[in-house]
């Protein structure tokens, strides 16, 4: 790719800048594993469930999607529901509590290749933003010492405040490009999630780069990625 064709880079966070996707995967597996066990359901939650129903989606939407796949019905609940509540919101809050515990215990380091690309883009003056479904984007960026690189952060909390539809809708990416003052045709989307590359494709951005952290290049291409890399260091 020729960076002279683009003026902005819009990065997903988890699995693109930081390996917090692994922390999220562990938190989802812990939460859903406990939930299924509590209900006496033998069929286990798997990594394939994560990639198919949860990855890249807002937290409560991920809960809804997985529960629907198992034909489990729960009340919607309220965002203030405690993690012990048997509701969509309660399960989402339980997952977030598990995530925060794992993050605090183990910390997070950014991918070296991603740091190399970000530094290269700083040198050439490319504008950058984080577009994440997570409500934990800022704490994760601070833990990874990367927050100062991104003057625009559109995360799950910002999306909720502004009424922006989450991925696979393109609204959050479009909002970030608008805040940066860059036409979407001059912006590159970086995503490792199927819902994220679908959002980039739906938004008709200049380029959608799929980052293969395990979902597979074919699926990323099928959902809208223009190009797939294993590591962002390949683009430096």
- Catalytic residue numbers, as ranges: 12, 14
101/85 Cα distance (integer angstroms): 19
Half-sphere exposure of 232 (CA within 13 A, CB side): 29
By the 10 Å C-beta count (0-12 exposed, 13-18 middle, 19+ buried), 74 is classed as middle
| DSSP at 54 | I
Is the torsion defined by CA of 27, 142, 52, 213 positive or negative?
negative
SS3 per residue for 157-204: HHHHHHCCCCCCCCHHHHHHHHHHCCCHHHEEEEECCHHHHHHHHHCC
With H, G, I as helix, E, B as strand and everything else as coil, classify residue 13. Answer: coil
207/184 Cα distance (integer angstroms): 9
The CB density around residue 85, as the number of other CB atoms within 10 Å, is 18
Tokens of 113: 């290749």
Tokens of 213: 């952290």
- CA distances to 23, 49, 179 from 131, rounded to whole Å, are 18, 23, 12
């Amino acid at each position: 790719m020729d960076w002279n064709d683009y003026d902005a880079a819009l990065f997903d966070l988890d699995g693109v800048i930081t390996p917090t996707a692994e922390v999220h995967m562990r938190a989802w597996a812990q939460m859903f594993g406990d939930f299924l066990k509590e209900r006496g359901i033998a069929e286990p939650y798997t990594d394939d469930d994560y990639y198919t129903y949860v990855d890249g989606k807002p937290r409560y939407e991920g809960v809804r999607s997985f529960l629907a796949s198992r034909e489990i019905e729960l009340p919607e609940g309220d965002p203030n529901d405690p993690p012990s509540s048997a509701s969509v919101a309660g399960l989402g809050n339980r997952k977030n509590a598990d995530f925060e515990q794992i993050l605090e215990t183990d910390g997070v380091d950014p991918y070296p290749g991603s740091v190399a690309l970000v530094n290269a883009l700083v040198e050439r003056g490319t504008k950058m933003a984080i577009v994440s479904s997570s409500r934990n984007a800022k704490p994760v960026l601070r833990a990874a010492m990367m927050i100062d690189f991104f003057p625009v952060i559109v995360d799950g909390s910002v999306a909720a405040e502004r009424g922006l539809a989450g991925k696979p809708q393109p609204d959050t990416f479009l909002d970030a490009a608008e805040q940066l003052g860059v036409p979407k045709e001059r912006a590159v989307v970086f995503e490792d999630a199927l819902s994220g590359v679908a959002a980039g494709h739906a938004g008709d951005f200049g380029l959608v780069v799929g980052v293969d952290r395990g979902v597979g290049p074919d699926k990323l291409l099928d959902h809208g990625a223009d190009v797939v890399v294993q590591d962002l260091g390949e683009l430096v």
